[in-house]
Structures are given as structure tokens and as C-alpha cells.
Amino acid sequence: MFTGNHGFLADRYVNIGQKKRTREEVIALLKQRLAPLKHTSDGSGEWKRGEAE
Amino acid sequence: MFLDDINKPRQEYYFKPPGFVTRWLEASLQDKRDMPIAWLYWNIMVTMYPALFLLWALPPSNLLGASYLVGFNVLYMQRFILAMHYSTHKRLFKKGSCLGASEFVNKFNICVVAPVFGIPCNTYWLHHVVMHHVDNNAWNKDLSATEGYQRDSFKHWLWYWVRFMVGSWVELPYYAFRKKRWDLFAGCFLGMAGTMGAYAYAHALNPITSFWTMAAPFIAVSTAMMFGNWSQHAFIKPEDPRCNFGLAYTVLNHPDNQKSFNDGWHTLHHVNSQLHWSEFPETFVKRLAEHAEKDSLVFDQGTASWAFPNPGTLWRPESQDCLRNASHERGLTRLTRFVHTQSVSSTSGSLCSRGTTGF
């Protein structure tokens, strides 16, 4: 992943019954799940989906 | 597509102990399926410890020290970390065994063997079982949480690694203190103080040998563990970062699964930390629909993946003509049957498994 070659893992992604995804959609999914979660100010101490700080 | 992991022989240990040792272990282990863990510990005891004592007995030598570090880390580090991991989650020796000293012997891994690999004495249980599994990778709670970082950035990983290397000496005992877990606080504090004190004493005696047997292993094992945890929790489902099916992923058919007590099945380990490591492949098959429903990530690292032009279609029922491998008949049969079942069943919107199920 450090090399930015997300396609390497996308080629090894196994669909176990999820909705059908193209290689590009798998790469987008992986990038989405690699992004940092942004801290919220709601006092919950939880992190939410967001941009890198 | 086949599930190679079900049938492959274990490779966690290199050689078995004499028969009388195995017979004693059979009578003493809590779960006989953990024999590979016990045999690996035996391997370490009869090879690495004599080498360690020999290194201290010989005149200081950077060449010998470096050979010791590289040789034994290549042989054992990954295997030991995972053996310690599973034998910390579940007791290795049953109560009343080991001449009544089973409680002490069960701590042997984190108190006596771990420091030889550079892990401070008596810290692993607090860090992994109490902090990591309970707080489940949550930022500002779990010292080794990954979710605040850009997890394909080497710069972010470096920051994560430095934070662990430096911060764990303070954050870990402070965590137990803040939770008012006084027994854990005292154990961790004393373990860390003992480790630092032993290093200071050893350094005064022989700085070269102490570097290769204590300081360098700490750097090496901390790097390996933080790289491992970062990798295991690299992909996090942003909609539900505390869902166990979304904060880790599964790696099928990787050769390391046979060397690391099925470490590729990290999702299931978080779903149920008490599930025995040998049960991961079959449990995965049984709970495949749940993985799919929660959009859990699964990767196939076996050679079979090279054969498919469109990996996104793997395991769909129409792809089952690819299921060909007589030597993996058992795994094939189960997977085939399950995929058929799954293809006709509807999925429910059950709540996601969160946190640990106990330890």
C-alpha cells in the first residue's frame, strides 16, 4: 500500500456475495477505507469519515 | 477458488520435543490443539536461550551479536509473537497443572520469553487483550489505534511507530492507572521498570552484547508489531469503524497462515477473541454470509488468484466450475455447499458485532 499500488490488492479482492464491483470500484473502496477518520466535536470521542487532518 | 488453509500442515514449530515432553504437555495443556504453540516454545527454549547464554559468556562481538539477532528473529519472531498472542488470550496450561504452578507458567510467555524478543516484561496482556480488544482500535483510547492515520502513507506509519516506541512507556501504565486497574498498573510499571533496570545493568556489564540482545530486539520487535497491527487494521469501514467486520480483513491461502496460527483471519479474531485459531477457516465458511452482509474485506493471496482474469467474480455461484482441486476436497466441498446456500438465502439486517466477546 505504501507504494500506491492499490491495484495489486484489488486483484486479490474476493467477492463473497457483496454487490458486484469492477476493479476500479474495488480500488475506490480500498482508498476509502484507508482514509483517516476525522475527529468530531460532538463529545463522543469517536471518529467519523473525513479528510486527513 | 479453494480454501487451502483448512488442510495444509502446520509450520509454526521446527521440531518436536522428546516423547516424554509431549506426553507431559498432552496431560497439561488446556487445549491439545495448542500443541504447536507449546512445541514452538520448546524450540525457543532449547535453541535461542543457550545461544543467548553463550553470547553473554563469550567476549563481546558485533558479528556474533548481529548473527544472533538476525538468525533468531528470522526463525522465530513472527511465530513467537503469534504464539504469545494466542496463549495470552487463552491459557496454555490448565489450572492445577505444572505441579500447581500453572498460573505462573502461563505468564512465562509474556514475562520471561517476551523480553528475550525485546517486548518489555509483563506488558503484552495489558496492551493487547485489555486495551486493543476492548477499545477496538478507537482513537485516543487504544495506544496502537490506526484509524486516525492515512494508512497507505509511509510518513503516517513512521509517526505511528515513533508514537508507540516512545509513548507506550508512558501511555500503557497511564491507561491502567486511568482505568483504576491497579493490579495491571502495578504489573506493567514493575515489568517496564524491571526491563529498563535490567538493560541499564546489562549495558554497564557489556554494552555490545546488551545492545544485540536487548536494545536491538526491542527496536526490531516494536517495528514488526506496529507494522503488523497497522497492516491488520489498515482498511476501516468509515460508516462503522467499531464494527469488527469492518475494522480488519481476512487473507485466505497465504503461506504465512501456516506459520502464524492462521493470523490472516484477523476479522474473526476480533469478532470473537476466544475462538480457537485452528477454527478460523471453518468458522469463516460458516459465517460467510455475515462477512458479505457487512461488506467485510477478503483477499486471496494464494496462487489460485492468478488464474482468474476477473477476481471480482470469485465465489459467485456461476464461478464454481473453477472449484477444482482433489487434494483440497474437504475445503472445496464445504465452500461449494455454503456458497450455494448463501446464493438462495436472504440476508438480515442484524447488528454488527462490536468489541470483544470476552477474554
Q: For residue range B281-296, what is the model confidence (pLDDT) as tens digits?
A: 999 999 999 999 999 9
User: B29 forms bridges with which residues in the sheet?
Assistant: B93
- The confidence score (pLDDT) of residue A48 equals 52
Residue B35 vs residues A26, A41, B105, B170: alpha-carbon distances, Å: 40, 49, 15, 36
Residues B208-212: what's their mean pLDDT? Answer: 98
Helix (H, G, I), strand (E, B) or coil at B212: helix
DSSP E strands in B163-266: the ranges are 249-252
H helical segments located in B58-180? 62-72, 78-89, 102-105, 108, 114-116, 124, 133-135, 154-178
Interface with B, mutate which of A33, A42, A46, A53 (most B CBs under 10 A): A33
Q: Give phi and psi for B14, each to the nearest 5.
A: -100, -40
Does A21 contact B316 at a Cβ distance shorter than 8 Å?
A: no
The pLDDT tens digits of the residues spanning A14-31 come to 999 999 999 999 999 999
Residue of A nearest to B301 (CA): A12
- Average pLDDT value for chain B: 86
DSSP state of B312: G
CB-CB contact of B172 with B185 (8 Å): no
Question: Which sequence spans correspond to the domains of chain A?
Answer: 6-49
- Counted residue by residue, chain B has a size of 359
Return the closest-CA partner of residue B142 out of B153, B130, B151. B130
Q: What percent of chain B has pLDDT over 70?
A: 84
Q: Look up residue B90 and give its three cell numbers.
A: 487463552
Residues whose CB falls within 8 Å of the CB of residue A28, separated by 6 or more in sequence, listed in order: none
pLDDT range class, residue B62, cuts 50, 70, 90 = very high
Does A23 contact B312 at a Cβ distance shorter than 8 Å?
A: yes
Complex ipTM, two decimals? 0.82
Contacts A15 to B, Cβ<8 Å: 311-316
Euclidean distance between CA atoms B94 and B42, whole angstroms: 18
Q: Give phi and psi for B323, each to the nearest 5.
A: -80, 85
Q: Give phi and psi for B221, each to the nearest 5.
A: -75, -35
The alpha carbon of residue B126 is apart from the nearest alpha carbon of chain A, in Å, by 22
User: B297 forms bridges with which residues in the sheet?
Assistant: B249
Residue B99 burial (10 A CB sphere; 0-12, 13-18, 19+): exposed
Residue of B nearest to A37 (CA): B148
Euclidean distance between CA atoms B179 and B221, whole angstroms: 27
Query: Of the ranges B193-207, B281-295, B318-332, which one carries the lowest mean pLDDT score?
Result: B318-332
pLDDT range class, residue B251, cuts 50, 70, 90 = very high
Does A36 contact B295 at a Cβ distance shorter than 8 Å?
A: no
**Cell 536461550 belongs to which residue?**
B49
Supply angle C-alpha B345, B348, B351, rounded to 5.
145
Say if residue B140's pLDDT is above 60.
Answer: yes
Bridge pairing between strands A37-39 and A47-49: antiparallel
Helix (H, G, I), strand (E, B) or coil at A38: strand
- The confidence score (pLDDT) of residue A47 equals 52
Residue B8 vs residues A7, B81, B83, B132: alpha-carbon distances, Å: 28, 21, 18, 30
Burial code of B155-182, b = ≥16 C-beta within 10 A, e = fewer? ebbeebbeebeeebeebbbebbeeeeee
Return the closest-CA partner of residue B354 out of B254, B220, B241, B236. B241
Question: Which sequence spans correspond to the domains of chain B?
Answer: 249-344
Q: How much is the pTM?
A: 0.84
Contacts B301 to A, Cβ<8 Å: 12
Q: Cβ–Cβ contacts within 10 Å for residue B288, how many?
A: 21
CB-CB contact of B236 with B247 (8 Å): yes
pLDDT range class, residue B5, cuts 50, 70, 90 = confident
Residue of B nearest to A26 (CA): B312
Does B152 contact A1 at a Cβ distance shorter than 8 Å?
A: yes
Q: Cβ–Cβ contacts within 10 Å for residue B313, how many?
A: 16
Euclidean distance between CA atoms B20 and B3, whole angstroms: 35
**Cell 452482509 belongs to which residue?**
B293
Query: Of the ranges A16-20, B72-76, B268-272, which one carries the lowest mean pLDDT score?
Result: A16-20
